[in-house]
Amino acid sequence: KTIGDRAFSYCGIKSLDFNSEITIGNNAFVGNNITKITISKQLTIDPTAFSKNPNLRPENIKIGYYSNNTAEEILNSAALTSE
């Protein structure tokens, strides 16, 4: 499964729940107001996937046992200000 490049850019999304293995493309969620992400399975994340989501905080990223992803990886993407 894949979420393509810019698939959900600037859509006003506030939370995400990934419960299957998925690849997330370039700027897939850029410019939303994401404040919460739950990851149950392994994601392959483009470094810009969550850019321009400055309200995302470490305590609001829940990562399950079956994921190799890190909150730092996601926060680094969210902190990007360019596309």
Q: Tens of pLDDT along 8-65?
A: 999 999 999 999 999 999 999 999 999 999 988 888 889 899 999 988 888 888 887 6
Which two structure tokens, joined as six digits, stand for 36?
């919460």
Cβ atoms of 48 and 76 within 8 Å: the answer is no
What sign for the dihedral angle of Cα 4, 5, 8, 13?
A: positive
pTM for this one? 0.84
| Whole-number Å distance between alpha carbons of 25 and 32 | 15
